[in-house]
Amino acid sequence: MLQEWREQGEISLETRRHLAAIAFQHTACYDTAVAEYLRGPTGERFPEEMTIPLERLHVLRYGENPHQHAAFYRWADSTSCSSNLPTIAGCEILQGKDLSYNNLLDLDAALNAVQSFTAPAIVIVKHTNPCGLACGDTLVEAYKKAHAGDPVSAFGASSVATALSIKRLR
């Protein structure tokens, strides 16, 4: 903005609109927090109107189909989510292409499947269907077993482990 002002001697309508949109979005999130506070625990259970503040995490490679645009959002205030279980919004992408909507569905299915295991476990999911799921004494062993379940389908599939990461598989 300062560079535009120095070079042009003014701020363009496009820049002013962009900055105004950012400011109004910010105040809308604040107003939502105030409304929730004022409604309080004894307030209306299902209000006539509700605003849900979200923040964008990723612009996706595509939506359900390659010609569709999509983005992935999560609650702007992490305390809004009442579940104590991990979600894909809190996961770290370790490698691979930018995600698509279908990849998010696969990752969500994989995360839901693997959360119930306490032993080292891996689930491999493609098109929301598990094509390999195994436990082992180590994540490497679990991965090898899960991959052996259907090595053809495992190509290009999404994998979720019960631990932070797998450094080396060999």
CATH number for the domain spanning 127: value is 3.40.140.20
pLDDT at 64: 93
Please, what are the averages of pLDDT over each run of 10 residues along the chain (170 residues)? Answer: 88 94 90 85 80 89 95 76 70 80 89 84 88 90 91 79 50
Under a CB-based contact definition with an 8 Å cutoff, are residues 131 and 125 in contact? yes
pLDDT at 154: 82
Looking at the structure, tell me whether residues 101 and 150 fall in a common domain. yes
Looking at the structure, tell me whether residues 47 and 102 fall in a common domain. no
Looking at the structure, tell me whether residues 92 and 47 fall in a common domain. no
- Provide the 10 A C-beta neighbour count for residue 142: 26
AA identity, residue 167: K
Domain count along the chain:
2
pLDDT at 169: 43
pLDDT at 78: 58
Beta-carbon contacts of 97 under 8 Å, excluding residues fewer than 6 positions away, are: 61
pLDDT at 91: 78
What is the span of the domain harbouring residue 28? 1-51
